[in-house]
Amino acid sequence: MAALPLFLSNNASLKVPTKALALCCAITLLSANPTSAWTQNQQEDRLRTMSEDELEEDGWVYQGEESELGSLGGGLMALTVGSVAHGVGHLFAQDKRTGWSLFIGEIIGAGLMGAALLARGITNNDGGWAVLYESFFPLGAGLFAITWVLDIVGTFGGSTSNFRESLRSTNQLGIASQYTFYRVEGLPLSHAGTLRINFDFWPFYAYPYASLGVDENFLGVGAILGVRFGFGRREHTYAFFELQAEQNSFDDIGFSYWTALGNIGVSLDVGDFFNHMDGLLIRAFVGGGAQFFSFDFPDAGDSNPNSLLSTGVSMGTNPTERFMFEVGYIERPDALVGHISQNVGSFFATLTFAPSSNIDIYLDARAGRGTQLFAGTVFYLFR
């Protein structure tokens, strides 16, 4: 489909065209995003019955490309002054709605961090209050940082490249192969290979996988099962619930462990809320589970299960049609890469390149107590 010279925005200060034009543009753009058929039909039926005022209130506003937000002064304000008061860049660029939204996000993030620190100080980080700190603090810190970055990106010019077609696909079957290099003190594993199958049929997904390492005769098997609940106009705006189970064993030293986890989370395409930030993706999750250990040498016995908490937050973008970049933070005690310190988890960065519509190549780096590097490819049988 040829590129459209106009698009729909959430800037209510701009003039709305006729209902027919706005409706035509809305449905055309919806059709360009291959989502499940029932989602498109529901959205199109609802738009056909809306008046011009209702379309404007719901964010379907016509504007030309020359109206797109972008301000050098606002970007510099967001980079400096915005480090204290997020949203100031958008306020400078006369986008008050986005500016106040980012400021409120900053307050919520700071509040989550403050509540976690207060609970930790009052209770000395004991018992159930430790769980409150471990879950609220990283989520609050992630939200605090992300609102600042969004303020900077949005006021310097925004991100207007849609997620590429293959990333928006929801019905796909792929085979992934991956090489992993570990450099973690105390971990008897340096190299491992992983084979994974990607089943993804909206709203369900399943990723069974198996890993093999030459060090200490390492073997790992597991699976991730999940379901998504879409609630936005865009494919990547949804809540999700997933379960993960895996077993890892080091046969040469007689040690193995099992992990069971459940996570709930949310994925947000920021363009669902601020059109000039189209192409920015935010994910966050929190969950918990248990870990069981087994030792195959005399008098060792089996240990009692350890409870664990997992949290994470990340932000991704695709600067070009073929690239996607994501950075984030993960708090997960059972991660092989370990934690940077007692109170700080691990950080990661992932770069994905799509040389064709049915192949993805990705690189992933993680830093905790040690380092963990991934390099892999996914071949899609269909998508």
* Residue 186 contacts residue 306 (beta carbons within 8 Å): no
* Residue 314 contacts residue 283 (beta carbons within 8 Å): yes
As a whole number of Å, the CA-based R_g of the chain is 23
CA–CA gap between residue 226 and residue 261 (Å, rounded): 12
Angle value at C-alpha 156, between 153 and 161, nearest 5 degrees: 60
CA–CA gap between residue 82 and residue 88 (Å, rounded): 6
Which amino acid is located at 123 in the chain? Answer: T
**pLDDT at residue 177, rounded to an integer:** 94
Residue with tokens 């900053």: 106
**pLDDT at residue 322, rounded to an integer:** 81
Query: Which CATH number does 171-382 carry?
Result: 2.40.160.40
**pLDDT at residue 249, rounded to an integer:** 87
CA–CA gap between residue 162 and residue 152 (Å, rounded): 19
CB atoms within 10 A of CB 235: 23
- Contact residues for 127 (Cβ-Cβ < 8 A; gap 6+): none
CB atoms within 10 A of CB 15: 9
What distance lies between CA 160 and its chain's CA centroid? 18
Helix crossing, 127-156 with 96-123: angle to 10°? 160
**pLDDT at residue 360, rounded to an integer:** 92
- 111-to-108, 279, 282, 289 alpha-carbon distances in Å: 5, 28, 19, 26
CA–CA gap between residue 172 and residue 169 (Å, rounded): 7
**pLDDT at residue 224, rounded to an integer:** 95
Question: What residue ranges of the chain have pLDDT lower than 50?
Answer: 1-41, 62-67, 164-168
Element (H, E) at 44: helix 37-48
- 279-to-21, 82, 238, 290, 353 alpha-carbon distances in Å: 24, 22, 15, 36, 16
Phi, psi torsion values for 292, nearest 5 degrees:
-120, 140
**pLDDT at residue 370, rounded to an integer:** 82
For residue range 266-275, list pLDDT tens digits in order.
Answer: 998 887 777 6
Structure tokens at 156: 């310097």
Angle value at C-alpha 259, between 195 and 360, nearest 5 degrees: 30
**pLDDT at residue 375, rounded to an integer:** 93
* Residue 227 contacts residue 203 (beta carbons within 8 Å): yes
* Residue 229 contacts residue 238 (beta carbons within 8 Å): yes
